[in-house]
Amino acid sequence: MALLFPGQGSQQVGMGQALAAAYPVARRTFEEANDVLGYDLARLCFEGPHEQLMSTEHCQPAVLTNSVAAWRVAREHGIEGHLTMGHSLGEYGALVACGSLSFESALRLVQARVASTSDVVAQRPGSMAALLGASDEDIEALCLEAGDVWPANYNCPGQIVASGLSRGVERLIDLAHARGIKARLLDVDGAFHSTVMAPAAERLREALAGVKLNTPSLPFLSATSAAVERGERLKVILAQQLTAPVRFTQSVRTALDLGVDRFVEFGNRRVLVGLVRRIRPGVEAVNLGDPSDLPALLELAGRPS
């Protein structure tokens, strides 16, 4: 069983509220985040306002906290898993779940990640676009033709997100439409997972230098390299993550090759569950974001409810 942690974009007002009401370990997770961050993240997740939760500054620690809270609930019910994975930001939750990072360290690193990327966004505005129904090779060729834009997320077959400077993304969308490829601009203000973020990656390396990594209890499969990573190499991966594409399709296939046949996503919106099922139709995959999700997870894990 693979433990999956979603990234930015999976946030929604109300997330974690029912789990925190039902399970003390989830409530304590949000309280811990409040203490580390210095503001009431729990209230923002539970009640909004929507615009504030959607900002990069708040949504990244919110998604991390919500995922860790759900994972801790699952762990209390005997769900251990055999490896951990994450999509972009979700790799921080995956590193908490495998034991390599403490939750506090992960929160502080995410704060540093937000600060470093925000500075780049202010200096070099960029954007991202989702392209649907085309092959990886076709999108890679279109990006080369457009210029100033690169593949950023290999989410599943037929779904790629590209990232780059605004002019490059605009050219890419025009080229895609001319070739009959569906393309739409995403509601983000930065060229994430592209070379534009190189200065942010350098700043994040400085923050990572002082972080303690623990001996993991589970393998961590990185969606940056699509390989199992460990030790000091994790710091390299987390910095590279800002400029490298998310190879989620490839990492899921690696997990399947390693013998994984079940996936559980810790979040409300079933984002990664949907992608996994498109990568391998028929595979068993569930999410945990609400107490009502727990029976299906326990059944998947073969544990009594």
Residues known to be catalytic = 88, 193
Q: Using alpha carbons, list the distances in angstroms from residue 211 to 51, 89, 217.
A: 32, 17, 18
Token pair belonging to 55: 């900002």
- Specify whether the CB–CB gap between 87 and 272 falls below 8 A: yes
State the Cα angle at 238 between 201 and 124, rounded to 5°.
Answer: 25
Helices (H), the chain: 17-22, 24-37, 41-47, 50-54, 56-76, 90-97, 103-123, 136-146, 166-178, 198-209, 233-240, 248-257, 271-279, 294-301
Biggest CA–CA distance in the chain, Å, is 55
Q: What does the alpha-carbon distance between residue 131 and residue 185 come to, in Å, rounded to a whole number?
A: 9
Distances in Å between the Cα of 53 and the Cα atoms of 6, 14, 59, 293 are 16, 10, 5, 23
Pick the closest to residue 148 from 123, 168, 170 (CA basis): 168
Angle between helix 56-76 and 294-301 (nearest 10) = 60
DSSP for 173-216?
HHHHHHTT-EEEE-S-SS-TTSGGGHHHHHHHHHHHHTPPPPPP
Q: Which of 80, 33, 146, 105 is nearest to 303 (CA)?
A: 80
The CA-CA-CA angle for residues 98, 232, 154, to 5°, reads: 65
